[in-house]
Amino acid sequence: MIIRLSSLGDIVHTLPAFSSLRRHFPQAEIRWAVERAGKEILDLVPGIDEVIPVDKKKWLRSAGQLRSRDQTALDFQGLVKSGLLAFFSRSRRRIGFGRPNCREPLASAFYTDRLEAIAENETHVAVKNLRLLSLLRIEETELDFPLAIPDSIRATVKTKLQSIGHGGTGRLLLFNLGAAWETKRWFPEKWAAVINGLRLENAYRLLLWGTERERRLASEVGQKTGVPLAPFLSIKEVIALVGEASLLVSGDTFALQVACALSVPVVGIFGPTNPRRNGPFRSRDRVIIRPLDCWPCYKRTCSTLECLRGLSVEETVAAVRELWISHG
């Protein structure tokens, strides 16, 4: 049993660990406990025997669905609630990270097996998840993301794009403007300056958004640039859209994790988080950062937002142009 409840990007980062488990234990029954939003991602992953939706607010009630004395539970979340779910599942083995690598160190008290400490800021999250499998004697380095997007979802996305005037001509250039944290959201005037500074051939530009706050940000940038907003898309449709893109420009959020999983070139806009841990892992991709003395802080609020304010529009424009031309 895999326990990775949220967030959407972290669920994507756990897919290589699942893929490795399936390869090494082809006859095993593999279940995955996840919050309901994340189930949309796992619906696109072949080989999971059962996806168990966990209510975000009443998560402990889900423990009864997880119980099996004969199973091994792997907690990739590292929170007290995920550790408790592993404990109440009555699994014979409960595998998780040691205290230094749990987001909430108390979670490690609920495991029977704990991974030795690893350097968080030097290890990509997807690689960190693979290392947890060493407690099952699996030594894996391959980052395989087994996402299978049905043709029906691709067709739905194509129809929605046609409704805003995209006739299928031009390579798709996506700008993903939003993020859950204030400290990950670049400023609209910066986005507008980047978009207006680009002169790219055969590019159909589109502003991606998800929440109402992100829609307002995208609308402001759209007014300054003339670039249309994407229609509202479900999580599965976002994955399909990103998969069709020639390039994604995005902050550290779900769309960027999906693009990396689907081998779509990316330019990452990073504020308080470390791209070596959360960002692109292919050498061709580009990251825009401004390391400060306080960086990386992983704070969700900040009084100055200096790490975002200091990001260079010119550097971003150059990175987008370079990838657009080199991967044309």
CA triple 12-36-100, angle to 5 deg: 50
Domain extent at residue 74: 2-136
Same domain assignment for residues 230 and 306: yes
Tens digit of each residue's pLDDT (9 = 90 or more) over 1-44? 999 999 999 999 999 999 999 999 999 999 999 999 999 999 99
pLDDT at position 2: 98
Residue identified by tokens 């029906």 is 152
Same domain assignment for residues 166 and 281: yes
Q: Evaluate whether residue 146 is within a structural domain.
A: no
Q: Evaluate whether residue 93 is within a structural domain.
A: yes
Beta carbons within 8 Å of 137's beta carbon, 6+ residues apart:
none
**Out of 58-67, 197-206, 225-234, 254-263, which region has the weakest mean confidence (pLDDT)?**
58-67
Question: Which CATH number does the domain housing residue 40 bear?
Answer: 3.40.50.2000
Q: Evaluate whether residue 143 is within a structural domain.
A: no
Q: Evaluate whether residue 106 is within a structural domain.
A: yes
Q: Evaluate whether residue 181 is within a structural domain.
A: yes
Q: Evaluate whether residue 108 is within a structural domain.
A: yes
Same domain assignment for residues 227 and 93: no
pLDDT at position 328: 75
Q: Where are the alpha helices (DSSP H) in the chain?
A: 8-24, 36-42, 63-66, 80-88, 125-132, 151-162, 188-197, 212-225, 235-244, 254-261, 275-278, 306-309, 313-326
Same domain assignment for residues 93 and 223: no
Tens digit of each residue's pLDDT (9 = 90 or more) over 81-101? 999 999 999 999 999 999 999
Average model confidence (pLDDT) across the chain: 95
Residue that finishes a domain, picked among 136, 171, 191? 136
Mean pLDDT of 65-69: 87
Same domain assignment for residues 130 and 155: no
Same domain assignment for residues 156 and 290: yes
Same domain assignment for residues 130 and 162: no
- Determine the Cα–Cα distance for residues 26 and 148; give it in Å rounded to an integer: 19
Q: Evaluate whether residue 212 is within a structural domain.
A: yes
Same domain assignment for residues 80 and 172: no
Q: Note the pTM of the prediction, 2 decimals.
A: 0.95
Same domain assignment for residues 129 and 237: no
Number of domains making up the chain: 2
Same domain assignment for residues 44 and 185: no
pLDDT at position 307: 94
Please, what's the b/e burial string for 135-145 (b: 16 or more CB within 10 A of its CB; e: otherwise)?
bbebebeebbb
Residue that finishes a domain, picked among 74, 106, 136? 136
Same domain assignment for residues 164 and 295: yes
Residue that finishes a domain, picked among 136, 163, 195? 136
Band (298; pLDDT cuts 50, 70, 90)? very high
Tens digit of each residue's pLDDT (9 = 90 or more) over 278-290? 999 999 999 999 9
Same domain assignment for residues 90 and 129: yes
Q: Evaluate whether residue 144 is within a structural domain.
A: no
